Amino acid sequence: MASIMAAAADTIPSGRGGAVRQQAVVAFAELRNFTRMSEVLQPGKVLQLLDEFYALAGNIMARHGGDVVGMHNDSLIAAFRDGGPAQDSRRAIKS
């Protein structure tokens, strides 16, 4: 897990020219009991739940200065990288 987090922090796409190496704080958010819920909900309800989760969690992360860098299954990954390690850590925790 640590190597995945380090890779995400080190290789964040820039606006031009591909990937750049940057220091960042990476925050993860995921739905609790998602597997159990997805087993009992209709597929359309699962998709609706994920859409709502991604929108809500993404907006919260963005409000605190994070950039969504990935979504996988029931997880959202955001990078905080504009204010230095201490400030980025505080913003990630607040989100």
How much is the pTM? 0.68
Alpha-carbon Rg for the chain in angstroms:
15
Confidence at residue 5, expressed as pLDDT on a 0 to 100 scale: 44
Confidence at residue 26, expressed as pLDDT on a 0 to 100 scale: 86
Q: How far apart are CA 50 and CA 30, in angstroms?
A: 10
- Per-block mean pLDDT, blocks of 10 residues, the chain (95 long): 43 59 83 93 94 92 89 90 71 73
